[in-house]
Amino acid sequence: MPPKRTSTSAAPAMTQATIRQLVADSVVAALKAQAATMASTDNPNRNTGPRETLVARNCTYKEFLSCQPFYFNVKFATGTLTEDALSWWNSYAKHIGIKQADKIAWTELKRLLTNKYFPLTEINKIEDEFYNLVVKGNDLMTYARRFQELAVLCPNMVPNTEKLMEAFIGGLPRSIKGNVTASKP
């Protein structure tokens, strides 16, 4: 049988309140030590500097497709519609049913949106402006910018880059047109 321990000193009895106070004091001391350690070291988890603000940039549908997205979710696209477009989509989806509307193909959604918000009369106006666009004065930058905007709005107007280049050169003044065609771009 093991010997019994006998204590010669009378230890004070610890109450629950005393134990809780010791634990609380230990936690406070540990938190202070941790804060001091983090303040004195270069900790990558701390964000003390100014936060970087990401800025969304606008892009065209053509630019979006050039990123070659794996799958374009029509349900997500329709969820990002706002104001009049959202009201139009909700009434369309209600008419055919939500489940059916979620199964719609991207090409069909494009056709519906084009018919609703880009009617044939507007397309004809843009095509007329595109084919009659010329440099005003010597402002080549404005001409080039507007030419590019119109070409993106109606990509089917010009079948290939050769025809696109011909249309661009066609709007240049004679003095510049000769130099450009001589360089055979």
| Whole-number Cα distances in Å, 31 to 35, 36, 82, 115, 118 | 6, 9, 48, 63, 62
Res 2: pLDDT:
65
Confidence of residue 42 (pLDDT cuts 50, 70, 90): low
Position 7 pLDDT exceeds 60: no
- Cβ-based neighbour number of residue 6 at 10 Å: 5
Comparing C-alpha atoms, which of 173, 123, 119 is closest to residue 143?
A: 173
Average pLDDT of span 37-65: 67
H helix and E strand count, the chain: 10, 0
Sequence-separated (6 or more) residues with CB below 8 Å from residue 154: 123, 126, 127, 130
Q: How many residues does the chain have?
A: 185
pTM equals: 0.41
Res 10: pLDDT:
58
How is the chain split into domains, by residue range? 61-117, 120-182
Q: Comparing 86 with 49, which gets the higher pLDDT?
A: 86
Residue pLDDT, tens place only, 110-157 = 888 888 887 788 888 888 888 888 888 877 888 888 888 888 777 777
Res 12: pLDDT:
62
Res 60: pLDDT:
75
Residue pLDDT, tens place only, 59-114 = 776 776 677 665 566 777 777 778 888 888 888 888 888 888 877 887 788 888 88
Comparing C-alpha atoms, which of 105, 117, 57 is closest to residue 81?
A: 117
Residue pLDDT, tens place only, 10-40 = 556 678 878 788 878 887 887 788 777 766 6
Query: Could you write out the three-class secondary structure of 119-174?
Result: CHHHHHHHHHHHHCCCCCCCCHHHHHHHHHHHHHHCCCCCCCHHHHHHHHHHCCCH
Residue 64, SS3?
A: helix
